[in-house]
Structure 1
Amino acid sequence: MPDPTWAGAPVERVAVVGAGLAGCLLAALLGRRGIAVDLYERRADPRTAGAERGRSINLAISARGLDALDRVGLADQALAEALPMRGRTLHPVRGALGFQSYSADGTRAINSIGRARLNHALLDCAEKTADVTLHFEHRLTAVDADTGTLTFAEGGTRQADVVIGADGAWSAVRRSLQFSEGFDFRQDFLPHGYKELEIPPTPGGDFALDPGSLHIWPRGSSMMIALPNTDRSFTCTLFWPKAGPGGFAALDTPEAVTAYFAAQYPDAVPLMPRLVEDFLRNPVGSLVTIRCAPWVRGRVALLGDAAHAIVPFFGQGANCAFEDCVELDRCLDAAGGDLARALPRYQERRKANAEAIADMALENFVEMSDRVNSPVFRWTARARHALERAVPGYVSRYELVSFTTVPYSEIDGRIRRQDRIAGAVALGAATGAAAAAATLRRVRS
C-alpha cells in the first residue's frame, strides 16, 4: 500500500475521534511522542456524567491488553482493579456444576474489569499526557479525508493534519469514508442481541458465585454469562435471539420473564432479586461484525472497532483494539515518527489479524453456548491440556489467543502444525508399543 499523497508534510496536530478505550490509549501514546493530539468525544465526560446503563459488557483483559496498558504504565493498576478468572464454570439446567480450566496448569487467567473503570483510568492517563487535549460533547458529523477538516454537530469546524477514527462500531469517521469510490464495507449482524443483568452480593456482603471463574449457562442457541466485579457483584449478560421462541421479544411481561428464567436458569433466579425490573428496563444491544478497507484514506485512518468490530465471544474486542494502538506505535518507530509512512504499514500488519480474530470470535459463540456441554468437547479439552503438559511447546488455541501476543493470523497455522507433530508423536509411540509387544510375544514363545 503506497504512502498517502501528503507524505513528507509536517504533522503538527492529530485529531483522535472517540475517547473510549482505544482512543484514550492512542492519544497517550502519540502525546508521549510529542505529537499534539486533540481527543474528541461525543458524550459528556463519563468520569462525571456516569456510564451508559445496561450496555457495558464487562471486559476480559488478557495478555495483549495488559501488554498495551503496560506501555502507558496502567497494567498494574488494571490488574489491581480486576478479578482473575482461571476457567469456566458451567451451569446446566439440572445437575452439578462443571469447571473447565483455561490452561493446562490451572494458573493462567483472564481478568474481569468493568469497562467504565478502565475507561476512566485511560482518560486520566490521556489527560495527564503533555500535548493531549480532551474535548467532550463534540459530536462529529463529517470529516474531509483530503484536508483533515472535521465538522461537528455543535457548530464550527476544526483542522488536523491527521484524523484517526477510534469511535467504535458506529464510527462517524468511517461513515464519512463509506460511500467514497473504492471503499469496501460489510456489516454482518447476528440474529442474537445482548442484555445486561446483575447478581448483587449476598445479604452478608459476599460473592454469590465463585469469583475466580467466568460463569456460563449454555443453552444451545443462547446463553447467559456472568463476570465478577470488585464490589462482589456479577455482571450477567444474556446472549439470546432477538425474536422467536426464547428470544428477547417473547418475554414482555413480568410473568413471562419469571417463568422462563425459572425453567432455563433455575439456580440463578434466587440470586437476582431485581431480575424482572432489570430485564424489562435494560436495552437490547446488537452483535455485529464489521469489515472494511482501506483503513487509511488521505489524511484519515481507522482503528479498533471503527475498522473491525467483532462479537465479544472470545473476549478480545478491547484486547485487539489495544493491539492496534501498539502496532501503530511500532510502525511509528520503524518510520522514524513519520505518520504518513507509519499508517499504511499499520494497516498492512493488522488487517489479517483483525480478520482472523473476527472469525474466531464467531466460532467461539457456538463453543460457549453449545459445545461446552458435549462430552466429546470436554474430552478434547482434557486431551489438549494433557498434550500441553507432555509435549514441550504445545499450546492450545485458547491459550495462544488469550495468554500470548502471537499474531492472531498465525494461530490457526500453528495449531495445525502442532496437531501434525502431536499426531506423529502419538503414531510413533503406538508403533513402538506395538513393536515392543510383538517382541515380547516372540520372547515368551
Structure 2
Amino acid sequence: FANAYVNDVFTIPANLAGETLPTVKIRVTGHGPMVRHRASPSAHLASKDQPLVHRVLNLPPTAARRASSSTIPPVCKKTSSYHSKCENPFAMFTEPKIQTKRRVAIIGGGLVGALAALYFARRDWNVDLFELRKDPRIQGNRAGLSQKSINLALSTRGLSALANTGLNLDEMVLNFVIPMKGRMIHLDKGELRSQSYGIFGEALLELLLNTTRKFTNVNIFFQYQMKTCNFDSGLLEFVNKAEGTTIQHTADLIIGADGAYSSVRSQLMRVINMDYNQEYITHAYRELTIPPIIDDKGDPKFAMDPNHLHIWPRHTFMMIALPNLNKSFTCTLFMPKETFDAIKTERELLNFFEVYFPDSIPLIGEQRLKEYFRNPIGSLISIKCKPYHYRNRALIIGDAAHCMVPFYGQGMNCGFQDIELLDSIFERFNITAFHNDNYDDKLELALEEYTKLRHEDAVAICDLAMYNYIEMRSSVVNPWYLMRRWVESWLHWLFPTLIIPLYTMVSFSTVRYSEAMKRWQWQGFLLNIIGLMSGAIIAMLLALLYI
C-alpha cells in the first residue's frame, strides 16, 4: 500500500477468542476500489492475558518480549512488519509518512485549459481535463466546432507561454503559422493601403491535446458537463453527455478555464463576494469564406496576399479576412445587430456588398455569399470580475476570468500568459505536487497573489481591445490618425526606447498590459504636445512670410 492512506477504522464480528479485531480500510490513490485489510488471528491470541492491541499486531507475549531484550537499542524500521526490539507498538503507523500527489481538475479543454494541463503535468500533479465538446482531433467532430469561430493571432506573449513549457511547443507551432507582416486596408473604392502588423493560423488546440500524451498523469474526458461542485470538499459532479450518466469526481484544486459563460465562475459567485461586470456590445459578427483560386497546374493558391490582415473599415461596421492553411480566407463581418436584421433577402445582401465591399464579391463569389444566411450570428461580450480565486481550492483563468472583444487579438495570448504567471508564482511560493509543511496556507497565498497581480492587467487589455475596435473600423481611414501614427513611427525610429507604439508593446513584448497602457497614455500626451508645438511653429513661419 505504498500509495495509500488510512481512510477509516471500523470493527468486524468477534474472533474465536470472543474479542473484536479492528479492520483498517485503505483507499489506493487513482480512484481504485476500497480495500479492507483485516488483522488475522494468530497463536499469540490464545492467551487472553495479552493486551488486545498486541494480539492484533501479532506481537509475542509481553513477558517473552521483555525477556528477549538486550543492550542493543531498539530500531523501528520503515517496514510493514513490527520489530520485536521496538518499544513503541504503533511505530509502523507513524513511520513512514506517505506522500500523495495533489490532483487538479481543469474544467474546459480549449486552448487555455489544454495548456494549463501541460503546465500542471510538468509540475507532476495528477491532472484531469474535462471538456463539454467532442474530441476535436477526430475528423467527424470538427464541423460543429468551426461554425462560429474567429481566427486567432499568436503574439510574443503566447509564444513565451508555449516556450516555457519546455516541450518545444513554440517551435512546433511554426509548422502551421502564417506569418503576417501588416494590415491591408481595403478602401470603399477598392484601393489598398498597407500598415504594419502580424497574425496566426489554426490547429494549435490539436497540438496541445496531442502533447498531453507525453504525460501519464493526464486524463482527458470529452463530453463531460459540470453540473455542481463543492469547493471545500473538492467534489464535482458531471454528466457524461455520451452515455447520459452522472459521474462524481474529487480534486484538491479546481481550475475554471471554461470560457465566457463559465460554470466554475457561476459556482464561485455563490461562495465569495465577487465583483462582476459584463457588457454586450451593440455589434455582432458573422463569418464568410473566400475560397482558394486554382492555378494552371490545378493547385490551390491564395486569392489575396496571405501575409496581411485584410480590413474593410466602414466606420460603423467592418469586415476582416485572415488566411487559413488550406489557402482560403475566413472573413468576419462585424456590424450592429440591427444591420444584420435589416438584410433579409439575397438581393438585399448583394446590394449591400456592392455598395460597401465591392472588391470582395469576386473573391467570395455570389453563390458562396449566400452562406451569410446559413452561418450563425455571434455575440460579442466583455467580462471583468474579481477575485479569481477561492481560498486554496479554486481559480478561474482565461475568458472565465476576463473575456474581451476580439479586436486586439489578445484573448488567447492573455489566457496563455495567465498560466505562465501562475506557474511562476507557484515556483516562487514552492507549490509542489506533494503535501509539505503549511501547504494549504502557501497555496492560498499563491492564488491570492495571482489575483492581485493579474486583475489590473486583465482590466487593461479588456479596455484596450474595446478601443482597438474603434481604431480598426474608423481611425485607420482618418487622415489625422494616419499622420499621428506616422509621427509615432518616426519618433520610435529616432528614440526606440523612449517612444514605443502601443501595438508593439502589446503584441511584440511581454510588458504588463497595465504598464503598456500607462506608457501609451503618457506617449499620447507627449505626441499632443509635439503636435501643438509643431502647429504653433508652422503658424509662426506662415505669419512671418506674410509680414
Q: What TM-score does the superposition give when structure 1 sets the normalisation length?
A: 0.88
Who is 1:284 aligned against? 377
Who is 1:233 aligned against? 328
Who is 1:314 aligned against? 408
* Secondary structure of the corresponding residue to residue 224 of structure 2: coil
Quick one: which of 235, 240, 244 aligns to 1:149? 235
Quickly say closer, same or farther: Cα 1:423–1:364, change in 2 above 3 A. Answer: closer
Who is 1:5 aligned against? none
Q: What amino acid maps onto 1:158 in structure 2?
A: H
CA shift, 1:263, in A, is 1.4
Quickly say closer, same or farther: Cα 1:414–1:11, change in 2 above 3 A. Answer: farther
* Secondary structure of the corresponding residue to residue 14 of structure 1: strand
CA shift, 1:430, in A, is 11
Rg larger in structure: 2
The C-alpha deviation readout for 1:312-371, integer Å capped at 9, x for no partner, is 000000000000000000011001025433222111111100000000000110000011
Distance in 1 (CA, whole Å) between partners of 2:189 and 2:261 is 40
The C-alpha deviation readout for 1:358-398, integer Å capped at 9, x for no partner, is 00000110000011110111111111110111113121011
Quick one: which of 401, 420, 425 aligns to 1:331? 425
Equivalence map 1:295-314=2 (5 Å): 295-298=388-391, 299-314=393-408
Quickly say closer, same or farther: Cα 1:28–1:265, change in 2 above 3 A. Answer: same
Who is 1:409 aligned against? 514
Equivalence map 1:381-400=2 (5 Å): 381-393=485-497, 394-400=499-505
Quickly say closer, same or farther: Cα 1:174–1:90, change in 2 above 3 A. Answer: same
CA shift, 1:222, in A, is 0.7
Distance in 2 (CA, whole Å) between partners of 1:327 and 1:417 is 26
* Secondary structure of the corresponding residue to residue 88 of structure 1: strand
- 1:370 matched to 2:460? The reply is no
Check the 8 A contact 1:198/1:272 in 2, yes or no.
yes
Distance in 2 (CA, whole Å) between partners of 1:423 and 1:171 is 42
Q: Tell which deviates more after alignment, 136-145 or 10-19.
A: 10-19
Distance in 2 (CA, whole Å) between partners of 1:430 and 1:283 is 49
Who is 2:74 aligned against? none
Distance in 1 (CA, whole Å) between partners of 2:533 and 2:186 is 40
Distance in 2 (CA, whole Å) between partners of 1:377 and 1:430 is 16
CA shift, 1:99, in A, is 1.1
Distance in 2 (CA, whole Å) between partners of 1:326 and 1:148 is 24
Who is 2:63 aligned against? none
Quick one: which of 177, 183, 193 aligns to 1:88? 183
* Secondary structure of the corresponding residue to residue 290 of structure 1: strand
Who is 2:51 aligned against? none
Identity %: 40
Equivalence map 1:168-317=2 (5 Å): 168-180=259-271, 182-204=273-295, 205-243=300-338, 247-273=339-365, 274-298=367-391, 299-317=393-411
Where do 5+ consecutive residues of structure 2 fail to align?
Answer: 1-98, 241-245, 433-442, 542-547
Distance in 2 (CA, whole Å) between partners of 1:153 and 1:220 is 46
The C-alpha deviation readout for 1:88-111, integer Å capped at 9, x for no partner, is 111112152111123xxxxxxx23
Check the 8 A contact 2:386/2:451 in 1, yes or no.
no
Check the 8 A contact 1:54/1:195 in 2, yes or no.
no
Distance in 2 (CA, whole Å) between partners of 1:343 and 1:26 is 15
Check the 8 A contact 2:190/2:358 in 1, yes or no.
no
Distance in 2 (CA, whole Å) between partners of 1:92 and 1:425 is 30
Check the 8 A contact 1:199/1:271 in 2, yes or no.
yes
Quickly say closer, same or farther: Cα 1:365–1:180, change in 2 above 3 A. Answer: same
Who is 1:46 aligned against? 136
Who is 1:106 aligned against? none
Q: Tell which deviates more after alignment, 268-277 or 211-220.
A: 268-277
Distance in 1 (CA, whole Å) between partners of 2:395 and 2:116 is 12
Q: How many residues align?
A: 416
Quick one: which of 445, 450, 468 aligns to 1:346? 450
Where do 5+ consecutive residues of structure 1 fail to align?
Answer: 1-8, 103-109, 438-445
CA shift, 1:297, in A, is 1.2
* Secondary structure of the corresponding residue to residue 265 of structure 2: helix
Distance in 1 (CA, whole Å) between partners of 2:516 and 2:394 is 30
CA shift, 1:82, in A, is 1.0
Check the 8 A contact 2:199/2:309 in 1, yes or no.
no
Who is 1:4 aligned against? none
* Secondary structure of the corresponding residue to residue 407 of structure 2: coil
Distance in 1 (CA, whole Å) between partners of 2:147 and 2:200 is 17
Distance in 1 (CA, whole Å) between partners of 2:232 and 2:164 is 32
Check the 8 A contact 1:82/1:229 in 2, yes or no.
no
